[in-house]
Amino acid sequence: MFLELSGFPLILLAIIAFIVILGLIICLHEAGHFYMAKKFDVLCHDYSIGMGPAIYKKKGKETTFCVRAIPIGGFVSMAGEEATDDFTKVGTKVGLNLEDDIVTEIILDDAKDCMIRGEINDKDLDGKDGKDLYITLMDDMGETHYYQVSETATYVFEKNETLQLAPYYRTFDAKKIWQRILILFAGPFMNFVLAFILYLIIAFATGVPNYDSNRGYPSASFLAPGDQITSVNGVSTNSWLDFQREMDKLYDNYGTTVHITYSHNNEEHTATMETYTSIVSIGLTNFGAKDFTLVKVPKTEVFGLEVGKSTLSNGKNSIRYKREEGTLSQGDYITKISIDGETYTIESWSQIIKLFKEMNVTTSVDVRFEYYDLKEDNTYSLVKLEDCKSIEPYTDELLSNQRIEKIAQYIGVAPEYHFSFFECIGVAAKGFWNDFTLIFRTLGILIAPSSVRQVGVSDLSSVVGIFDMVKQYIGAGFIPLLSLTALLSVNIGVMNLLPIPALDGGRIVFLIIEGITGKKVPKKVESIINLVFMGLLLILFVFITYNDILRLIH
């Protein structure tokens, strides 16, 4: 059930939910990297949520925790990733502050007061050989002086910005290959953990269906919660599995009429109803319509089938809630259908089910309707086939890939739910696995060769699209919002593991290459490749965001 939310309260709630959801996902992702890096004694300079300028900073013992202005992504800055050698090249003038004759600060701001100032003559600030860190300065008299440097010394820049010096053994690069892989993998892993926990919460909150019972919770008007369905179309049903079997038979025979016998307060009753029918491949449904059978179009002598709410968008040619000229909308009545030029007079939903069920959609198919268009003054006007916008059904391959039935039928009843600890774990695992594999199935239809490209990069969503989804889910309640959060968390986890340079998966690939060849990929080469791909990802992000904005406008 959707809550009635509109205007400013909805936007405000959506913004808060959006920030909380993305913040939680990113926080845990970066926490995975951070925890594993600290586990292996890697010095972490920054733990940042978001990108761009910092709007909040808090300095910990070694790490600065930041919230940044742009709510996309985040990062953990680990020692060894920054080019500190550029700060202290031989010949560079620096200042030093000492405690007990050991350098604790290396001053890189010429205007800042310090105890000693000079030109770097020699240094070892890495300690790769295990010896003490040191720096040698030449003073204005040309004399050189040796100073031991503390392993916890800090670089001091302009505006008192600081960075802790890191001996080599505390850098990311110093760790064994398997340790570095675990540090990189820990971020996506935390996304998977979050998603699984959320699915557990959902399963524990809602329970699991009791398929051995024939009691249920209906939305069908003649049933009440707890009523027992005893037969469907004359066949006894002792469980929900029996019920499902009879509904499958109805579907196989293109039927839409269901005769039900049920027990209410120990009294037997019978009822007949038409099924809710959704032709998912084009988004046509009778859900939300007043009549499910062929009826006379109001204020005319013509018979047609009433159109319900759209259930699935089909790109720019979809049946929409929003009325557009030449496009079907809720409340219209269809009288004819044309499929690749062959025209059929509409007789029933059963006929439409048969047409689309038997249609093998492997290439582009032109579907048009002749219909009576509901006007604002509650009158109807005829829209002929040639004036109706073409609707291209989703291909069978695409729907199968996304595990979507191209035709759905239901009567608005569901089994009663009960709590079962182990079954709930199984339901949570299934929900996680479906989301996990969905990403790869979607990537498959994006990049696999196809004669009909119905889903492309323009259909992906950026933060703008995610915000729009959050806004839509707000009214559905807390549980659907948790489900969306789980899906987004799995998405971010999988995307980060893809073997793309600049992402965790790409960096893992470099480490695997190092493990196979025994040689590290040169730092400059890796940096250039990462920068190039980061640029390409930013361009892709801008393109996807642009398309998200266009969808919102239209």
SS3 content of the chain, % helix, strand, coil (to 5): 40, 25, 35
Collapse the DSSP code of 488 into the 3-class scheme (helix H, G, I; strand E, B; otherwise coil) and give the result.
helix
pLDDT score recorded for residue 95: 93
Q: Which of 7-16, 372-381, 481-490 has the highest mean pLDDT?
A: 481-490
Question: What's the one-letter identity of residue 226?
Answer: G
How does the average pLDDT of the chain come out, rounded?
A: 84
Q: What is the pLDDT of residues 206-248, one digit of tens each?
A: 887 776 665 555 556 677 777 888 898 989 988 888 888 888 8
Query: Which two tokens mark 152?
Result: 């916890």
Does position 327 have pLDDT exceeding 90, yes or no?
Answer: no
Identify which of 367, 353, 380, 218 has the alpha carbon closest to the alpha carbon of residue 285. 353
| 148: exposed, middle or buried (Cβ count in 10 Å: 0-12, 13-18, 19+) | middle
| 375: exposed, middle or buried (Cβ count in 10 Å: 0-12, 13-18, 19+) | exposed
What is the Cα–Cα distance from 379 to 333, expressed in whole angstroms? Answer: 12
Question: What's the one-letter identity of residue 272?
Answer: T
Confidence of residue 313 (pLDDT cuts 50, 70, 90): very low
Q: What is the pLDDT of residues 433-478, one digit of tens each?
A: 988 888 888 777 766 656 555 565 556 666 777 777 777 777 777 8
Task: Give the Å distances, CA to CA, from 534 to 23, 273, 351.
Answer: 22, 57, 52
For the chain, list the domains and their CATH numbers. 84-170 (2.30.30), 276-410 (2.30.42), 420-553 (no CATH)
Q: Which residues contact 185 (CB under 8 A, 6 or more apart)?
A: 497, 504, 508
Q: What percent of the chain has pLDDT over 70?
A: 88
Q: What is the pLDDT of residues 55-111, one digit of tens each?
A: 998 988 889 999 988 777 788 999 887 666 677 889 899 999 999 999 999 999 888
Q: What is the pLDDT of residues 391-422, one digit of tens each?
A: 888 887 777 777 778 888 887 777 777 788 88
Does position 523 have pLDDT exceeding 70, yes or no?
Answer: yes
**For 118-122, 265-269, 458-462, which range has the lowest pLDDT when averaged over its residues?**
458-462
Rounded mean pLDDT, 164-168: 89
Q: What is the pLDDT of residues 193-212, one digit of tens each?
A: 999 999 999 999 888 777 66
Count of beta carbons in the 10 Å neighbourhood of residue 212: 11
Q: What percent of the chain has pLDDT over 90?
A: 32
pLDDT score recorded for residue 322: 43
pLDDT score recorded for residue 8: 55
Contact between 376 and 303 (Cβ < 8 Å): no
Of 85 and 42, the structure prediction assigns the larger pLDDT to 42
Confidence of residue 480 (pLDDT cuts 50, 70, 90): confident
What is the Cα–Cα distance from 34 to 390, expressed in whole angstroms? Answer: 52
Confidence of residue 534 (pLDDT cuts 50, 70, 90): confident
pLDDT score recorded for residue 319: 47
Q: If residue 426 lies in a helix (H) or strand (E), which one and from where to where?
A: helix 421-447
Rounded mean pLDDT, 513-539: 85
| 539: exposed, middle or buried (Cβ count in 10 Å: 0-12, 13-18, 19+) | exposed
Does position 5 have pLDDT exceeding 70, yes or no?
Answer: no
- Pairing relation of β-strands 144-156 and 102-107? parallel
pLDDT score recorded for residue 145: 93
Does position 367 have pLDDT exceeding 70, yes or no?
Answer: yes
What is the Cα–Cα distance from 470 to 22, expressed in whole angstroms? Answer: 10
Task: Quote the pTM value.
Answer: 0.75
Of 52 and 456, the structure prediction assigns the larger pLDDT to 52
Confidence of residue 317 (pLDDT cuts 50, 70, 90): very low
Question: What's the one-letter identity of residue 294?
Answer: L
pLDDT score recorded for residue 450: 60
| 310: exposed, middle or buried (Cβ count in 10 Å: 0-12, 13-18, 19+) | buried
pLDDT score recorded for residue 512: 93
What is the Cα–Cα distance from 326 to 329, expressed in whole angstroms? Answer: 10
What is the Cα–Cα distance from 133 to 123, expressed in whole angstroms? Answer: 8
Does position 3 have pLDDT exceeding 80, yes or no?
Answer: no
Count of beta carbons in the 10 Å neighbourhood of residue 177: 13
Query: Which two tokens mark 429?
Result: 């695992």
Q: What is the pLDDT of residues 330-345, one digit of tens each?
A: 889 999 999 988 999 9
